[in-house]
Structure 1
């Protein structure tokens, strides 16, 4: 199943070292057992395994850099950059926050960085990560593209 076959999902964000995170609670609401007792994602573009991989990638990027990474997958209002920037402003620790906003149906990707994060991840590096994500998305790998982009952004940011 490709990413375009399912309804876009929630913002995947978490407070560093917070348990359980709001995003994890939300993801838990999206998962229930099917009639055979197997976990099943009720909505969104990701299956359970992909959600776990994304959560781990977010956790790893946060820990490795001291920045706060978040992912939003869903429709973006026009103008999309303004909408992504408004969502970014709602994140905790805005200055050190990085938001990856993806709208598969609109074929749009935005990477928004706060002031502190921007000093560690210049626009050129964010654009390179975005190009890599877009290439994966084109091949039908939404989760893999986001995970790869998180890794590239975290690698560029380095340790604080």
Structure 2
């Protein structure tokens, strides 16, 4: 993964963000290829359109703030906060990165911010976004909750 590239991770599937509109069809085809070529991806929580919406939300948040946003959806090892923090440290430019880690089966959500990102997204703002996401998750809208949380965090972070 190159610097400035966002990603959505669902278990083992990684969907890189593309920069132009014509790439939407290519991404959709690649996602479909992964779905039909690798049965384990079929078990993922998102459909193709949801993945595309999440990809767009990640790209928009990155552009709007200059921070790097990433989303992980899958199982988290105990202690979950520690696992989320270790994943965050693996991101490029972790100091200005925001990771949203969601484990639907464990009913856990963690928002991890690097030092630079934390100055722009205080814990209070991250907690408010988390509460909003949890409310959407409770209503059965995993993708919508993540998209809403990304938007809220990006709006609070503003542009550097």
Is TM-score (shorter-chain normalized) higher than 0.5?
Answer: yes
Choose from 31, 39, 43 the match for 2:35: 31
Q: Distance in 2 between matches of 1:43 and 1:29?
A: 14
The TM-score with structure 2 as length reference comes to: 0.80
Show the counterpart of 1:101: 101
Cα distance change on mapping 1:110 and 1:15 into 2, 3 Å: same
Alpha-carbon distance, 1:13 to partner: 7.0
Alpha carbon RMSD of aligned pairs, Å?
Answer: 2.6
The question of whether the paired residues in 1 share the 8 Å contact of 2:17 and 2:55 is answered with no
Structure 1, unaligned runs of 5 or more: 1-7, 34-40
Could you tell me whether the CA contact under 8 Å between 2:32 and 2:48 is conserved in 1? no
Structure 1 moving runs of 4+ over 6 Å: none
Higher helix share: 2
CA gap of 1:16–1:42, structure 2 versus 1, over 3 A, is closer
Alignment length (residue pairs): 142
Q: Superposition pairs for residues 5-154 of structure 1, below 5 Å?
A: 9-10=11-12, 14=16, 27=31, 30-32=34-36, 42-154=42-154
Q: What is the aligned partner in structure 1 of residue 4 from structure 2? A: none
